[in-house]
Amino acid sequence: MASAERAMLAKVLGDLAVEARSHRAKLPFDSRDRQFYLGVEAAAEAVHHPQTYDTRPADWLDQESHAFRNGFLTTSAQVAGILSDTHIPLRLALPTPD
């Protein structure tokens, strides 16, 4: 991936993380959906800062709530699709919880 594409992907994922954070801030602290959006944000940030996940145990995701895992894995699948394509979208749609 060229540096211009990396910069564009960083912007798209940064925007997604901000949108997830904003959405999460409007939800009650104990909301299941709040955990989902925390997972979305974590997945978007994982692409920016993969080193933060390198030191975690292999089963770290199993220790998270179901909603967090769902948000993380849904977003990770979106990112994998982007990385396997030649076109980087200008925006990623914020996933929604089940």
Give pLDDT, residue 83. Answer: 83
Q: Which residues of the chain are under the pLDDT cut of 70?
A: 1
Give pLDDT, residue 1. Answer: 62
Radius of gyration of the chain (CA): 13
Q: Please give the model's pTM, rounded to 2 decimal places.
A: 0.90
Give pLDDT, residue 64. Answer: 95
CA distance 67 to 50: 21
